Amino acid sequence: GSGLNSLAKAAGKVYFGTATDNGELSDQPYTAILDNINEFGQITPANSMKWDATEPTRGTFTFSGGDQIANLAKTNGQLLRGHNCVWYNQLPSWVSNGQFTAADLTDVIQTHCGTLVGHYKGQVYSWDVINEPFNDDGTWRSDVFYNTLGTQYVPIALKAARAADPNAKLYINDYNIEQQGAKATAMLNLVKQLQADGVPIDGVGFQCHFIVGEVPGTFQQTLEQFTALGLEVAITELDIRMTLPATSASLAQQQKDYQTVVQACMNVKGCVGITLWDFTDKYSWVPSTFSGQGEACPWDQNLQKKPAYSGITAAL
Ligand code: XIL
């Protein structure tokens, strides 16, 4: 096959994948591409495994949305990435507004991660156990987890995830760690500390929510700093947005940018795969999040391939 996953696998990668979401799965022209193993060998639920979706009230778990995507991956013969266990965002208010002692929040994290990861035991290639722990200046994000437990919430979650599914690779995932700087250094130091303490950590996810014309030049170097520690790395949420309306020049620059980003992963042996944060502009999170920006994906609103698609294949 000549699709993205076929090409990536032929070049030695574990997968080329995409995020998807439950509401999109009734769109038959969309799923015809999503389900094509030649294009996508891995899928990631964009929302339905998050805390607000899976444990909306304490101790009550709802897996219907996540199960739909896990079952789709199984049907299609695709790998699954779990996203995510512990994140400051999309938390139910019982967590974000909770007044917890350290012991109680430890129990909450262990129960959430253990139950979530355990539910999908044997089905998940890798879990984003911790999502977005750092501020852009490399300091720890002030959230209920850090404010109650300090940095200890990270090993608590990782150990609970390992116990629940010993075969899933455990990741920490973040954005703005692609370029050299305080945030990448903070992530590197965290991983080194976890390794020194014997805490299970297998990978670091680089989200790669980029802007056309602003792909960081030090990305490959950063990936290599992490693989030098014996970790695997992955591009977990790739999209490259632009100011609207798109022009032929901005679409051509986007093609180059996709090629540059994918090439960085190809050049690093420990970079196992690439995930688009959905493959089509029809379902991208970008326009509703970044005002005036969009067209961030390799397929357009009408599910037609854009120049960006050729940028990817040129690197694979
Ligand atoms: C986004 C989803 O794509 C949206 O549908 C949702 O409204 C907000 O979250 N970093 C992450 C992802 O780790 O979970 C986010 O996904 C995008 C940014």
pLDDT digits (tens, 9 = 90+) for 156-183: 999 999 999 999 999 999 999 999 999 9
- Provide the annotated active-site residues: 237
Say how far apart CA 8 and CA 18 lie, in whole Å.
13
User: Could you tell me which residue, 297 or 2, shows the higher pLDDT?
Assistant: 297
The three-class DSSP label of residue 299 is strand
Check whether 195 has a pLDDT greater than 80.
yes
Ligand 1 site residues (CB inside 6 A) read 46-47, 131, 207, 237, 285
Expressed in angstroms and rounded, the spacing between residue 47 Cα and the centre of ligand 1 is: 7
Q: 94-111 burial, b if ≥16 CB within 10 A, otherwise e?
A: ebeeeebeeeebbebbbe
Structure ipTM: 0.99
Cα(91) to centroid(ligand 1), Å: 12
CA of 50 to the centre of ligand 1 (A): 10
The alpha carbon of 206 and the centre of ligand 1 are apart by a number of angstroms equal to 14
Mean pLDDT in residue range 257-273:
98
- Whether the predicted pLDDT of 249 surpasses 90: yes
Average pLDDT over residues 244-250: 98
Q: How do residues 130-163 score in pLDDT, each as one tens digit?
A: 999 999 999 999 999 999 999 999 999 999 999 9
Helix (H) or strand (E) holding 105, with range, is: helix 102-119
pTM listed for this prediction: 0.98
Query: Angle 220-223-225 (CA atoms, 0-180°, nearest 5)?
Result: 110
Distance CA 262, CA 74 (A): 26
For residue range 23-53, what is the model confidence (pLDDT) as tens digits? 999 999 999 999 999 999 999 999 999 999 9
Nearest-CA residue for ligand 1 atom 7 is: 285
pLDDT for 1: 75
- pLDDT at residue number 95: 98
C-alpha 279/C-alpha 41 separation (Å) is 13
Instruction: Identify which of 126, 285, 288 to mutate to test ligand 1's pocket (most ligand atoms within 8 A of the CB).
Output: 285
The pLDDT value recorded for residue 310 is 98
Q: Which ligand 1 atom sits closest to the C-alpha of 288? A: 7
Q: What is the pLDDT of residues 90-124, one digit of tens each?
A: 999 999 999 999 999 999 999 999 999 999 999 99
Q: What is the mean pLDDT of residues 216-244?
A: 98
